[in-house]
Chain A
C-alpha cells in the first residue's frame, strides 16, 4: 500500500478510541501502581470526546492534518494531567506535516517523527526515563528504517511493533521523569502507562490501515 487517505485517519482515531476504552482498566491499573491512577479514564474520556467531535463535523474533513489537529485540540482540552498536553502536542505537530488528503510512507515517517519531537519538547523526557518516549523513540527509528520500502502500511507496522516492544521494555526501568519518579526503585516492575497507551495508539493506526487494505 503506497498511500493512506483521510478516511484512514478518521478510522485510526475511532479505532484508538475503541481500543483505549477496552484498555481503560489496564491503563488505570498500571497508573494506579506508579502514577495517580487516572490515565485509563483520561485517555478514554479524551478519545470519546474526539469521536464526538468527529461525529459532529458539519463538513467532512479534507486532510489528514485536519483530523490530527482536531484530535490535538480536543485532547488538550479534555485530558487531565500531563498526558493531555503531551498527546495534544504530539498530534498538533503531526498535523502540520501531513497537510494533505493522503499520506505516503514518507509522510507517515514524518508524522511519527513530529509527534515524538512534540512529546520530547513538551515533556523534556529522554529515552530510558520510563515514559511514553520509550515507546515513541523506537517507533521513529523503526519507521525510518521501513521508509525505503515505500509501503505506508509497512511503516505503520514497523512503528507499532517497535512501540509495543518499547513499552514492554519499560517494565524493569526505574522512572526518573514524571510522577512515577517519586517512587524511585519501586517504579521498577510495572510497565509505564504512557508507553502502553502509545503502543495501543500506534497499533490502532495499523488496524485502521489493514481495514483499508482488506
Chain B
C-alpha cells in the first residue's frame, strides 16, 4: 500500500478510535497514531509524532497526516521543520479529523497516490457541509411520531430488480436496503471498495459510490429503496454488483 495515514491527536483514545474505524474500512492501509503527551496525558508530543512518521514511512511510500486541534498541527509542523526531507513524502492535510481520516484511508485502500489521498481528505469537509445533517422533524401532536419518508416523493419508482434505462447508455436499478443501519460505515466501505475495484462509475441516489462519506451522508435506513445508476460500458455489471451487495445485506440482515 503506497500511502500511509498518521493520526495526531491530543487523546490516545480518540486516535485509537479513528484508527479502529479506518482499519475496518481500509484494512490494508498502514495507520499509525501519535497521540497524547510524553506522559500519556492529553496533549501531543514531538517524539511520538516523529516515531509515528518513521513507522508509517517504513511501510509506505508516503504518508498523509491528520491532526485534531491547534497544537497538534503545530507539533506536526515542528517535526517537518526539524527534518525538511520529510516534506517530500509527508503531507499534513487541512481536514476534519474523523471524516478526513476515513476518506483518506478508503482512498488509499483504493490504490490512490499521495495527491489523490490528500484531495480525498481535504474534500471530506464537504460531507459535513454548512447545514445540519438531519433536519429536525416537528411532531404534529396527536398524529404520533413522524414516519421517515422512503424514496423521493412524487417519483415513480420502478420495481426492485428491474433494470431501466434513462439516457441511452444509462443503467439504473432500484434496490431495497436490508441491513438495519443502512449504508453505515462498513457497508459503505464495502460498496466503495468494490466499485473502485470494478472501475465503472456508479451512483447510489446520485452519490458517488466510490466515496464512503458520500454513501454515508445519504443517511439510508432499512427498508429504504435506493436507485443505483451507472453509464456506459460495463454499466449493467456494475449496477448488478452494487445491487447484489445491498441485497445481500452485508451479512447484517
Q: Contact residues of A with B, CB < 8 Å?
A: 72-73, 76-78, 80-82, 84-86, 88-89, 92, 122-123
Contacts and interface: CB of A to CB of B under 8 A. Distances in A.
Interface in B19-56: 37-38, 43-47
B82 A85 contact: no
Given A80-B43, A92-B81, A85 B38 contact: no
B75 A85 contact: yes
A80 B71 CA distance: 8
Given A73-B82, A76-B82, A78-B38, A84 B77 contact: no
A73 B78 CA distance: 9
Interface residues of B, number: 15
Give the secondary structure class of B's interface: helix
A77 to B, nearest CB: 5
Contacts, number: 45
Contacts of A92: 78, 81-82
A61 B81 CA distance: 22
A115 B68 CA distance: 26
A85 B77 contact: yes
A80 B37 contact: yes
A82 B81 contact: no
Given A77-B38, A85-B78, 17 more contacts: A72-B82, A73-B82, A76-B78, A77-B47, A78-B38, A81-B43, A82-B70, A82-B71, A84-B74, A84-B75, A84-B78, A85-B71, A85-B74, A88-B78, A89-B81, A92-B78, A123-B74
Interface string B217-249: 000000000000000000000000000000000
A122 B77 contact: yes
Contacts of B47: 77
A77 B48 CA distance: 9
B222 to A, nearest CB: 42
Q: Max chain A CB contacts within 10 Å: which of B46, B47, B75, B77? A: B46
Contacts of B74: 82, 84-86, 122-123
Contacts of B43: 80-81
Contacts of A72: 82
B71 A77 contact: no
A76 B72 CA distance: 11
Contacts of B44: 80
Contacts of B81: 89, 92
A123 B44 CA distance: 16
